[in-house]
Structure 1
Amino acid sequence: MRTRHVRRSAALAAAAFTLPITLGVAAPVFAASQQTDPYGPACASLPSQGSGSLAGMAQDPVATAASNNPALSTLVTAVKKAGLVDTLNNAKGITVFAPTNEAFAKIPKADLDKILADKAELTKLLTYHVVGEKITPSQLSDGSFKTLEGGTLTTTGSGENFTVNGKAKIVCGDVQTSNGTVNIIDTVLTPM
């Protein structure tokens, strides 16, 4: 009885694909998903559950997702000072190259304090880290992307090893949020 049921199910499945062809209609095509999993050594340091986890970040817009990630607290402070929280949370299909706290720590404290105190310069710096389109890992191998600041970012690499502007490494890439993609980087980028 069980074998008969399996044969009947197999026959019905075959008919579902054969029938459209005999009627001159294209059979459905099941393409592999274009979305990849986040990659990079820093992804392992994200919380395994909760709002700062990969699943949690996918539920929130970019700025909110970043605020739940302990490695991005300096960036979040800068975004708030520049008044960009709503801009980032309301944008659609963006890609953010998000510097870690350690990336900001590479900037001498006096220089960082000066940037944080100048809203116009801070806004220019932060919007240079945002591209107004979704960038997939395959596009990063040899890419050139216009930023919201108006400049251009370049990316090179392959597999799970990508560099932005020849110096910043993506340490956790292709992190999805509800309105964009985040690539966490180890160096703050400066507009060219």
Structure 2
Amino acid sequence: MNQMNARIRRSTIAAVAALVLPFSVMACGSDDSDSSSDDSTAAGEETPGQDDSDKSEEGDEKETASEPFGPGCEAVPESGDGSFDGMAKDPVATAAGNNPALSTLVKAVGAADLGDTLNSAEDITVFAPTNDAFDKIPKADLDALLKDKDALSKVLTHHVVDERLAPKDLEDGEYATLAKEKLTVAGSGEKYEVNDDSKVVCGNVQTSNATVYIVDTVLMPAK
């Protein structure tokens, strides 16, 4: 009898063990799966954050690159028609007229009857000489130039390229001007030269129809 009872107890224990063991294994598997899922979710959450940071940095670089640059930009008013925001609303000849540092250029544009031509053009680049740039020309020669409409028109149109040029386009290039001659440009960062002898003192200034680079020397055509 005792032996029979012992066999019954052993059979019962074996049966219980057979039932409990699979549930234990399943529970462990479930924990591992949850842990793996959590790890995966955590990894997935980190990646978007990293991407957003990278995109933000790229956006900051693009924003910085679109701003005017150069020591000459410090003279531009912070508000009003002559400010960067004000000039962006006007066509290029009108915008130049609101900048006191370009008054000689504006006078020359008027003498050559080029104001309407420049204002009505679409997507151009203007290399605009400062008053100091015109002062480098002997007074007698400048006075004579201002009285010679054809010669003056050629000089002024030699400062205009029939496309908008971004700063990166000035790093190393050659462009045809409206005077049907070539300008060479080179540089990087915030330092650029035109024809090897004229420096950009305030660059990437936007008007409604043009990108303007203010330069410190008048660009003379070869002919």
Q: Please say whether Structure 1 and Structure 2 have the same fold, judged by a TM-score greater than 0.5.
A: yes
Select 2:133's aligned residue among 92, 97, 103.
103
Paired amino acid for 1:88? L
Please list every run of at least 4 consecutive aligned residues from structure 1 whose deviation after the TM superposition is greater than 2 angstroms. 29-35
Aligned equivalents of 2:149, 2:196: Cα separation in 1: 27
Deviations 1:4-24 (A, max 9, x none): xxxxxxxxxx9xxxxxxxxxx
**Which amino acid in structure 2 is aligned with residue 66 of structure 1?**
A
Question: Aligned to 2:73, which of 24, 39, 43?
Answer: 43
> Sequence identity of aligned pairs in percent?
58
How far has the Cα of 1:36 moved from its partner?
1.1
The answer as to 2:197 corresponding to 1:167 is: yes
The answer to which structure has the higher helix fraction is 2
Shift of 1:143: 1.1
Higher relative contact order (CA 8 A, sep 6+): 1
Residue 152 of structure 2 aligns with which residue? 122
- Name the amino acid aligned to 2:159: H
Q: Whose radius of gyration is greater, 1 or 2?
A: 2
Give the corresponding residue for 1:144. Answer: 174
Could you tell me which residue of structure 2 aligns to residue 72 of structure 1? Answer: 102
CA RMSD of aligned residues (A): 1.8
Cα distance per residue 1:41-60 (max 9 Å; x no partner): 00011111100010100000
- Rounded to whole Å, the distance in 2 between the matches of 1:99 and 1:55 is 21
Q: SS state of the match for residue 59, structure 1?
A: coil
Counterparts of 1:153 and 1:52 in 2: how far apart (Å)?
Answer: 28
After superposition, the C-alpha distances for 1:127-164 in whole angstroms (9 at most, x for unaligned) are 00000000010010101010000000000111000000
Q: Aligned partners of 2:196 and 2:183: how far apart in 1? A: 10
Q: 1:86 aligns with which of 109, 116, 120?
A: 116
Match for 1:131: what amino acid? V
> Residue 145 of structure 2 aligns to a residue in which SS?
helix
| TM-score for both structures, normalised by structure 1 | 0.83
Identify which of 44, 60, 63 aligns with 2:93.
63
Q: Number of residues paired by the alignment?
A: 166
**CA distance in structure 2 between the aligned counterparts of 1:48 and 1:104, rounded to whole angstroms:** 25
TM-score scaled by length of structure 2: 0.71
Secondary structure of 1:104's counterpart equals helix
The residue type equivalent to 1:94 in the other structure is I
